[in-house]
Structure 1
């Protein structure tokens, strides 16, 4: 169910429209989430408090005590941004979808509408640049190098996302229904479940991208394991916010959801999802040019 950073070798849910298409070029999928902005904000889970605390602790603040200036790239509806704001950070979000940005603003966040590639900082710099569930949408020719230019001395870049694979009893009926309903979808040939190590390898390749800039200290790999319980209705609320389903018409979407709902019913109407939140984080080198 999750996505992979640049250089993935599988076919992540939100990224691969065709084998030859790089995720950052798949703008139709990248900008489809705003159609379900309210649902996305309601159903998508927050990030572990330990991740937020580690970002804040590892980002040197400016002269104002206890304030860390954060740029949230691809902020969406502001799920991560609100957590960082609650932790005492001053957060600016950027997102290419005006619908997602509007909802984030309604939640009290500052958001500018732009892709990361086109966004103009106008001389602004930050203590931290964070990217949650969105790094694969950024052009790899731009990404880490531009982030380095936006950071203050010893500032930190952190890229993170959830890995969540439902139990086989739920994942396999979903995959079968999706292949039946959308046989020509490039998402249809993905396996029902994928190993965590596939995603760890993706974050390792992200670390390689960061190293290649020559601007950062050695990247760190973080991992946070947690669980979340879902009722049938809660899981069916989240599924339409995932990239394979955001563009489906109502009738095929309903058929897929019916199959998944029946599978959850067979488990007693609820299941527990194991989550792992992975992150690659690196501080700007003190001798960075």
Structure 2
């Protein structure tokens, strides 16, 4: 089934860090982003904490603070780093400390952390500089853990999205990517395998692991239409074009009963620092 990749980039995971205009488009509506984006499995948060030497966390690309708040609720101290002041301002309003900048340019000022994490954001980080910098700021046996959600909506819903998107933005790289698109799970498995390889190449970490968590979330028509504008393919559409896409997808959801249950797979690539 052709699909618009849930990965919010027109390029591969190894090149997406170059597309800053997409990476920094999510702050157009931080309230919607925080409301509509799914949280992470509690089991993922618990496993990261259980395999880290302490509870001081650096959250790269923290966005509105979704995973940061989950770590805080589990007893961690969290500092977020994000390039978008709009997202950072929202996260601060929820009690998350955030410094603005890309991870590559951010100054740790001598600070070190027990874990460096990135939720749905590591593909925006340079695949060479990112793991190397994480290794420099981790404490002995500290953990890097990068993770994200893979999901495919029902075929009827995705087909409506693809058709409407190709109509309003036929020249978009997202539209062109639909011709030979893989499933979201295949895309994300490749992306996190590449992330693991990047960790391995630093020679600073033990052998990377890949973790998997399967779960489900139900969506009404309105809930899914609230979520869609937060995805990379739609964040930069003009309002009239976005309305066409949402009308088409909404009609498709109506035809299948007004809602659906989404199977999610949360994948993680992770490794512990060695040699220090």
- TM-score (structure 2 length as normaliser): 0.94
**RMSD of equivalent CA atoms:** 1.6
**Kept after mapping to 2: 8 A contact 1:220/1:280:** yes
Number of paired residues? 270
Match of 2:122 in 1: 135
Q: What residue is the counterpart of 1:175 in the other structure?
A: 162
SS at match of 1:187: helix
Is the partner of 1:235 in helix, strand or coil?
A: helix
The reply on whether 1:27 has 2:27 as its aligned counterpart is no
* C-alpha distance 193-205 of structure 1, shift in aligned 2 (>3 A): closer
Question: What's the CA shift for 1:193?
Answer: 6.2
Post-superposition shift, 1:137? 0.7
Counterpart-to-counterpart distance in 1, 2:95 and 2:44: 22
Q: Unpaired segments of 5 or more residues in structure 2? A: none
Deviations 1:54-88 (A, max 9, x none): 01101111xxxxxx000000000000000000000
Q: Which residue of 1 aligns with 2:152?
A: 165
Equivalents in 1 of 2:85, 2:134: separation in Å? 22
Q: Any conservation in 2 of the 1:15–1:22 contact (CA below 8 Å)?
A: no
Paired residue for 1:117? 104
Residue 77 in structure 1 maps to residue 71 in structure 2: no
Change (3 A) 1:105 1:45: same
1:14 to 8, 17, 24: 8
The residue that corresponds to 1:53 in the other structure is 46
Q: Is the 8 A contact 2:210 2:269 kept in 1?
A: yes
Match of 1:38 in 2: 31
Distance in 1 (alpha carbons) for counterparts of 2:201 and 2:99: 29
Aligned counterpart, 2:132: 145
Contact 1:155 1:283 in 2 (8 A): yes
- The structure 2 residue matched to 1:268, chosen from 247, 253, 257, is 257
**Could you tell me how far apart the structure 1 residues matched to 2:105 and 2:98 are?**
15
Residues 232 and 265 of structure 1 are in contact (CA less than 8 Å); yes or no, is this contact kept in structure 2? Answer: yes
User: Larger deviation: 137-146 or 259-268?
Assistant: 137-146
Q: Name the counterpart of 2:171.
A: 184
- Distance, in Å, in 1 between the alignment partners of 2:5 and 2:42 is 29
C-alpha distance in 1, partners of 2:183/2:97?
A: 36
2:244 to 228, 234, 255: 255
Among 146, 159, 183, the residue aligned to 1:194: 183
Give the aligned partner of residue 206 of structure 2: 217
Cα distance change, pair 225–162 in 1 and its aligned pair in 2 (3 A): same
Contact 1:144 1:210 in 2 (8 A): yes
Deviations 1:127-178 (A, max 9, x none): 0000111111111231100000010000000000000110111111101110
1:208 aligns with 2:201: no
Higher helix share: 2
